[in-house]
Amino acid sequence: MFDLEIEKLLDLVQKPARYMGGELNSIQRDFEHTSFRYCFGFPDVYEVGMSHVGSRILYDIINKRPDTLCERVFMPWVDMADLMRERHIPLFSLETRHPVRDFDILGITLQYEMSYTNILEILDLSGIPLHSEDRTWADPIVIAGGPCAFNPEPLYHFIDAFSIGDGEVSTLETIEVVERCKRAGMSREECLYELSQLRGVYVPSLYEASYHEDGTLAAFRPIRVGVPERVQKNMVADLDAAEYPENVIVPYMEIVHDRINIEVLRGCTRGCRFCQAGMIYRPVRERSMERILDLAQKLVDNTGYEEITLSSLSTGDYSCLPQLAHEMMERFEKQRVSLSLPSLRLDSELKATLEETQRVRKTSLTYAMEAGTQRLRDVINKGITEEDLMSSVADAFAGGWSGIKLYFMFGLPTETQEDLDGISALAQKVVRQYFATPKEKRARGLRVHCSASCFVPKPFTPFQWEPQDTLEQFKEKQDYLCHIMHIKGVEFNWHTPQVSFLEAVFARGDRRMADVLETAWRNGCRFDGWSDHFLFDTWMKAFETCGVDPAFYANRRREKGELFPWAFIDAGVTEEFLWREHELAMQAKVTPDCRRGCHGCGLKRFEGACRS
């Protein structure tokens, strides 16, 4: 009967393939005769969630565990969500179409602050009480992980436990604890306490926060004996030893990254001062070339995909990249399988590698310059120069590329009008370089796509103390950029400042943000990362209703020594190191790549870290 009701809905919604399940390589087991059931939830639509590498890794790992199943659920689009409410159909998993509430654990990945209202929507559609304190064993344990879990406090009221750091180990450990507690007949509260004893697991109900009169955090402490005062992140030391899927699901519909995606390394040693991922995913760990080639062969054989992406925060830093690219093209060229390399560093030796990747088909090349002048690039420790860019695009145009993407940020600390002018100047120089390339070498149809996003200060970065520009400042700079970016051959776009403002509020928010989040959701906010569904006025009304000033979180400079809501998390990098980098930024002094010498970030305390 439940299946029949779902089938009726599929005839009424956009893109029914989002909810069908049954894709090639999906794993379907007997729900009733499996002892432990895990539902992996992604708080965005299917085509976004199915492109997430971490979800694929955990789906594979959990389903390899004996007598355990892992099924998937994604945030239904508004048409489906509204119909499900209207017809009283609870949110269901894709594999067996069982209600999400019937699972033992609901695991949710936190990739983006603007998906938080979708988490509440998923809980409500599933019939799971929003607040952790209201749940019983009739509900799953709700666990969340991912980069946004490094400041879990805005979600403290809604999530039972947070998994901090790499999920390959902690996910299986949390399953073992929940399974053991259920088997022993323990209370849900005791199960949460047992989860808190695991490395990298934070249970918010076991801690309390207090505040100064000025609104800053005064203290944060556990309320039960035995609960750790600090939660240390989990870290997989050896990527070759870590599980990685050799057989991934092939969707019926096109997804955002519709290709094979192989993680070649994790972490980054460059130390860009705005980049949270570069700090929280330290240290760098590489997957061996032999393992990557083996994975590539199996994934091509098992999926039929015709493109392979080698992914990481900085793929150009993979130590064997030229050899790897050559080997992959030798192996797959005859099958017309192409190779793409995102996240390229301009100072990497990539010319030969790019020549290898073009042997099947060309794609646009992406260059993240971030800032328009060398001074500001030194402030953010980007470590690349204008000469790096021009040398690279000259090689690209001579090699037959005509599509270039340039990424910048505006609103960075210490930014001046000269830095904004530098964005336009660089784009113009790229255009001139194209026309300076001999006609017989360059491809037709120049396309320079230039985008500028608003700077968002994030936890565990040297800029966590810095204020974000106000909306008025962003608007003024955005209007100026639009004026100076009228360049023939250049397409310019930008991020919405209001979205970036809210992102900063939640990135640096504390427990008081939970009430604002719930109020905004109850007033209709969902899919906040989608411009056509973003309700900024509704959000501002929620702040007013809850008596919370969003500028306190986004636009206020923090002083050295202020207690941050995320200070109880040990992310590896120490506050002393981050403050030292902050001070160097204010002097526009660079810190070299840590592979050239240790700068004492704190990671060496972790077993297996920085072995090279």
Task: Grade residue 360 by pLDDT with cuts at 50, 70 and 90.
Answer: very low
Residues 6+ positions from 184 with CB-CB distance below 8 Å: none
Please give the pLDDT value at position 361.
Answer: 54
- pLDDT, averaged across the chain: 93
Residue that is last in its domain, among 158, 185, 220:
220
Q: State whether the Cα torsion 530-533-536-541 is positive or negative.
A: negative
Q: CA-to-CA distance for 346 and 369, rounded, in angstroms? A: 9
The predicted-structure confidence for 429-475, as pLDDT tens digits, reads as follows: 999 999 999 998 888 889 999 999 999 999 999 999 999 999 999 99
Contact 209, 220 (CB under 8 A): yes
Beta strands in 155-303 (DSSP E): 161-163, 201-202, 207-211, 217-222, 231-232, 260-263, 265-266, 285-286
Least confident of 82-86, 331-335, 604-608: 604-608
Q: CA-to-CA distance for 216 and 137, rounded, in angstroms? A: 36
Contact 332, 340 (CB under 8 A): no
Q: Which two tokens stand for residue 46?
A: 């299917």
Residue 448 lies in a domain: yes
Residue that is last in its domain, among 171, 197, 220:
220
Task: Grade residue 527 by pLDDT with cuts at 50, 70 and 90.
Answer: very high
540: amino acid identity, one letter: M
Please give the pLDDT value at position 339.
Answer: 86
Task: Provide the number of structural domains found in the chain.
Answer: 3
Q: CA-to-CA distance for 144 and 41, rounded, in angstroms? A: 9
Are 93 and 190 in the same domain?
yes
Q: Which two tokens stand for residue 271?
A: 């130390």
Are 449 and 584 in the same domain?
no
**Closest of 86, 57, 73 to residue 126, by C-alpha:** 73
Residue 354 lies in a domain: no
Residue 512 lies in a domain: no
Contact 429, 450 (CB under 8 A): no
pLDDT at 358 exceeding the cut of 70: no
Least confident of 281-290, 292-301, 437-446, 475-484: 437-446
489: amino acid identity, one letter: G
Helix 417-436 to helix 471-484 angle, to the nearest 10 degrees?
Answer: 30
Task: Grade residue 355 by pLDDT with cuts at 50, 70 and 90.
Answer: low
∠ CA 517-234-574, rounded to 5°:
80
pLDDT at 594 exceeding the cut of 90: no
pLDDT at 193 exceeding the cut of 50: yes
Contact 369, 380 (CB under 8 A): no
Burial of 66 (0-12, 13-18, 19+ CB in 10 A): exposed
**Dihedral angle of Cα 246, 251, 257, 260, to the nearest 10 degrees:** 20
Q: CA-to-CA distance for 367 and 426, rounded, in angstroms? A: 12
Q: CA-to-CA distance for 255 and 233, rounded, in angstroms? A: 31
Task: Grade residue 150 by pLDDT with cuts at 50, 70 and 90.
Answer: very high
Q: Which CATH number do you get for residue 28?
A: 3.40.50.280
Task: Grade residue 247 by pLDDT with cuts at 50, 70 and 90.
Answer: very high
Asked if omega into 283 is within 30° of 0 (cis), the reply is yes
Q: Buried (b) or exposed (e) across 239-259, using 16+ Cβ within 10 A?
A: beebebbeebbbbeeebebbb
pLDDT at 610 exceeding the cut of 60: yes
Are 82 and 216 in the same domain?
yes
Q: CA-to-CA distance for 1 and 262, rounded, in angstroms? A: 40
Residue 208 lies in a domain: yes
pLDDT at 4 exceeding the cut of 50: yes
Residue that is last in its domain, among 164, 193, 220:
220
What DSSP element (H or E) covers 62? Answer: helix 53-63
Please give the pLDDT value at position 356.
Answer: 58
Q: Which two tokens stand for residue 252?
A: 């019926």
Look up the domain containing 440 and give its range. Answer: 364-455+471-488
pLDDT at 597 exceeding the cut of 90: no
Residue 301 lies in a domain: no
Residue 302 lies in a domain: no
Beta 403-410 vs 365-370: how paired, if at all?
parallel
Please give the pLDDT value at position 351.
Answer: 59
Are 450 and 579 in the same domain?
no
Task: Grade residue 160 by pLDDT with cuts at 50, 70 and 90.
Answer: very high
Least confident of 152-166, 313-327, 510-524: 313-327
Residue 41 lies in a domain: yes
The predicted-structure confidence for 374-398, as pLDDT tens digits, reads as follows: 999 999 999 889 999 999 899 889 8
Please give the pLDDT value at position 349.
Answer: 55
Are 451 and 582 in the same domain?
no
Please give the pLDDT value at position 609.
Answer: 81
Are 374 and 476 in the same domain?
yes
pTM: 0.95
**Closest of 373, 482, 393 to residue 435, by C-alpha:** 393
For 65, the 3-state DSSP assignment is coil
Q: Which CATH number do you get for residue 389?
A: 3.30.750.200
Mean pLDDT of 160-167: 97
The predicted-structure confidence for 77-97, as pLDDT tens digits, reads as follows: 999 999 999 999 999 999 999
User: Which residue has tokens 């600390």?
Assistant: 413
Least confident of 54-68, 308-322, 419-433: 308-322
Residue 570 lies in a domain: no
Q: CA-to-CA distance for 11 and 84, rounded, in angstroms? A: 13
Give the percent of the chain with pLDDT over 90. 83
Are 483 and 600 in the same domain?
no
For 433, the 3-state DSSP assignment is helix
Please give the pLDDT value at position 353.
Answer: 63
The predicted-structure confidence for 110-121, as pLDDT tens digits, reads as follows: 999 999 999 999
